[in-house]
A and B are shown apart, each in its own frame.
Chain A
Amino acid sequence: ETGVTQTPRHLVMGMTNKKSLKCEQHLGHNAMYWYKQSAKKPLELMFVYNFKEQTENNSVPSRFSPECPNSSHLFLHLHTLQPEDSALYLCASSQGAASYNEQFFGPGTRLTVL
């Protein structure tokens, strides 16, 4: 597997469920990101990790909980979500979190909250 992979690709969950999204990068990068892509809206940056340390949290509700155990893996733990959280969740990675570093994106997880 090359590039950035995400599992699952599709997820349907109820508001009381707990689930996790997984992202893995095979590029040797040090920085990883979670984005939310809602219909007709710009991609919204949620979290940034650089060398496993969280460096950005864009006022994301606590029902989204990221985890970065190492530079290759990033998780997004979900609990008590709302229907408006339904969206495409994209993971990305880059060689360091510097602004000039190209970000490589995964295919996303399409999340539907019932």
Chain B
Amino acid sequence: AQSVSQHNHHVILSEAASLELGCNYSYGGTVNLFWYVQYPGQHLQLLLKYFSGDPLVKGIKGFEAEFIKSKFSFNLRKPSLQWSDTAEYFCAVNALSGSARQLTFGSGTQLTVLP
């Protein structure tokens, strides 16, 4: 079965700092990759997604993620954080073959941005 690992459970950074959140998955076939975000008191919402093509994908609010197939990684980045980026971030993977075709989530990373 596929699994998703998010290595950082809680990250605390200051405004204007750069961000990189790690995400690794374990599945050898073709995958679709997602980052979801949950702002305090709000629903989970899609931040960005990768299906095919350019491995560097851009999402909302200045976020981007790079798919590195050889490393089974899909790390999330933002060059300059804002206080409003405080939220919980979830990486998710959906395999396209075999029995594991469901969306599998990582355990999430709580990001706190200090003003």
Residues of chain A having any CB pair with chain B under 8 Å: 3-4, 40-43, 45, 48, 56, 58, 90, 92, 99-100, 102-108
Contacts and interface: CB of A to CB of B under 8 A. Distances in A.
A42 B4 contact: yes
Contacts of A105: 36, 43-45
Contact of A90 (B44, B94, B95, B108): B44
Contacts of B36: 105
B56 interface: no
Main secondary structure of the interface of B (DSSP, over half): strand
B21 to A, nearest CB: 15
Main secondary structure of the interface of A (DSSP, over half): loop
28 contacts: A4-B43, A40-B9, A40-B107, A41-B107, A42-B4, A42-B105, A42-B108, A45-B102, A45-B104, A48-B102, A56-B102, A58-B102, A92-B44, A99-B32, A99-B95, A99-B96, A99-B101, A100-B49, A100-B51, A100-B94, A102-B34, A102-B46, A102-B49, A103-B103, A105-B43, A105-B45, A107-B42, A107-B43
A105 B90 CA distance: 13
Chain B contact residues (Cβ within 8 angstroms of A): what range?
20 to 34
Interface centre among B4, B34, B90, B102 (most CB of A within 10 A): B102
A38 to B, nearest CB: 10
